[in-house]
């Protein structure tokens, strides 16, 4: 029997139950993985219960995950894709046409910038970049009559800027445009952009939603907004089916499993990150720390109003010794593995300038060369602090020129 969840409203409860009903045939508590490409019909176009025909169009495992995510984001529909970039590409192609203009907040993910700057530009899409997270600056960047999409990431990657989503939504509405919010860093455990006026939410489900660094995926969640004569849901459904970059059944299963523990994991990510941020702020060998949970963060008060339950698990900082120190830090750390991803249970570090945001090098919006981004994992906080102390000590010595950088030799050898 399918149990109604209409009265189950808590975030953690919805994460576990919505879209994840026990199997009606066997009673299996965990819905099975429908690892199939196609479905038998009882007659020509006579589909069995659920209406499944071909897994590009629909699959019970993917549909369950989409229902689960839509519930957490307070959306009407969610669409799961094979990667975060596939999700972004599908969304933008579903709503844009040649001659349209896109407004990007300054430090969106490098892959988003590359998609708009190098791929969509070849199809007649222009773009402008807002030099900050300010809605007022966004309003000044809008081109009346041609701006179709405003794209915002908050907290942003990698400088952790926080934006007023409701204010950006008003700018979009005034321009007759759509506001898309990349909610990968905050996740629906901390922030629901649709409830603040956004028209669509994008996720790399590879990150916190999957949560275990073992699945690649992306998603778009929409509310009841209309665009150019159709609902956004209708446009996304067509784009997903027509172009086919869907999440496979096993990937959808892993993402759904991760989503069930998202609220609990985010509590630990946030508490660990806040302690790590305070630790970094206390160090003489760290010159800059970006984390919205710190009271001296420029948008701390706004973050406290818009992020509920914590300030996220991502921190970026600049060591006192510059680029050499940054490279030595990521080489010397034993807990923070060097990787381009984030959001897993384990801690990761990267140097965005030459890794995740290399597509911006040479532009006015490239990130500092010596910026280090930390994805703070779920390990014991004492181990975090001990490892950071050791790695920063090594970075400090290299920055002063006291010792040669062993880490640089290791990276060249790799």
The residues annotated with a catalytic role in the active site are: 56, 109, 182, 207
Q: Which among 236, 159, 247 has a CA at the least distance from the CA of 201?
A: 236
Q: Give dist(CA 379, CA 347) in Å, integer.
A: 8
Q: Where are the alpha helices (DSSP H) in 316-358?
A: 322-332
pLDDT at 241: 97
Radius of gyration of the chain from its Cα atoms, rounded to whole angstroms: 22
Q: Residue 403: pLDDT band by 50, 70, 90 thresholds? A: low
**Phi, psi of 338, rounded to the nearest 5 degrees:** -80, 120
Percent of the chain with pLDDT over 70: 94
Q: Residue 402: pLDDT band by 50, 70, 90 thresholds? A: low
263-399 classified as CATH 1.10.1740.10 = no
Any long-range contacts for 349-358 (C-beta under 8 Å, 24+ apart)? 349/373, 349/374, 349/375, 351/326, 351/327, 352/110, 352/157, 352/158, 352/316, 356/109, 356/110, 356/111, 356/157, 356/158, 357/107, 357/109, 357/110, 357/158, 358/110
Mean pLDDT, the chain, as a whole number? 93
pLDDT at 3: 38
All CATH 3.40.640.10 domain ranges of the chain, comma separated, are 11-100+168-256
Distances (CA, A) of 204 to 109, 111, 221: 11, 11, 12
Q: Where are the alpha helices (DSSP H) in 282-321?
A: 300-306
Mean pLDDT lowest among 222-231, 303-312, 354-363, 364-373: 354-363
All CATH 3.90.1150.10 domain ranges of the chain, comma separated, are 263-399
Q: Global pTM?
A: 0.92
Q: Which CATH number fits domain 11-100+168-256: 3.40.50.300, 3.40.50.720, 1.10.760.10, 3.40.640.10?
A: 3.40.640.10
Note the pLDDT tens digit of each residue in 68-80. 999 999 999 999 9
Name the residue with higher pLDDT: 407 or 380.
380
pLDDT at 399: 62
């Amino acid at each position: 029997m399918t149990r109604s969840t209409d009265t189950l409203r808590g975030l953690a409860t919805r994460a576990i139950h919505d879209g994840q009903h026990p199997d009606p045939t066997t009673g299996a508590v965990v819905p099975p993985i429908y690892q199939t490409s196609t479905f038998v019909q009882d007659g020509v176009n006579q589909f069995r219960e659920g209406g499944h025909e071909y897994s590009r169009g629909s699959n019970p495992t993917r549909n369950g995950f989409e229902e689960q995510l839509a519930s957490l984001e307070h959306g009407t529909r969610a669409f799961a894709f094979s990667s975060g970039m596939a999700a972004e590409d599908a969304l933008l192609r579903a709503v844009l046409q040649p001659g349209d203009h896109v407004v990007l907040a300054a430090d969106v993910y490098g892959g988003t910038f590359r998609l708009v700057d190098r791929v969509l530009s070849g199809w007649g899409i222009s773009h402008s970049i807002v030099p900050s997270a300010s809605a007022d600056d966004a309003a000044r960047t809008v081109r009346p009559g041609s701006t179709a999409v405003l794209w915002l990431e908050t907290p942003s990657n990698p400088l952790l800027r926080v934006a007023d989503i409701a204010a950006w939504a008003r700018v979009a509405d005034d321009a007759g445009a759509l506001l898309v919010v990349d909610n990968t860093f905050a996740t629906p455990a901390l922030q629901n952009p649709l409830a603040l006026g956004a028209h669509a939410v994008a996720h790399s489900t590879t990150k916190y939603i999957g949560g275990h660094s073992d699945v690649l995926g992306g998603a778009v969640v929409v509310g009841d907004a209309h665009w150019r004569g159709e609902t956004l849901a209708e446009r996304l459904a067509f784009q997903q089916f027509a172009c086919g970059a869907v999440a496979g059944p096993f990937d959808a299963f892993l993402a759904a499993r991760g989503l069930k523990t998202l609220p609990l994991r985010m509590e630990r990510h946030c508490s660990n990150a806040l302690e790590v941020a305070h630790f970094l702020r206390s160090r003489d060998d760290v010159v800059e720390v970006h984390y919205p949970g710190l009271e001296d963060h420029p948008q701390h008060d706004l973050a406290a109003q818009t992020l509920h339950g914590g300030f996220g698990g991502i921190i970026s900082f600049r060591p006192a010794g510059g680029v050499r120190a940054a490279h030595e830090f990521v080489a010397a750390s034993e807990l923070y593995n060097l990787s381009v991803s984030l959001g897993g249970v384990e801690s990761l570090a990267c140097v965005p300038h030459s890794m995740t945001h290399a597509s911006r090098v040479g532009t006015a919006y490239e990130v500092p060369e010596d910026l280090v981004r930390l994805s703070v994992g779920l390990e014991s906080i004492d181990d975090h602090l001990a490892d950071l102390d050791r790695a920063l000590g090594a970075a400090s010595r290299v920055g002063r020129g006291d010792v040669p950088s062993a880490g640089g030799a290791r990276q060249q050898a790799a």
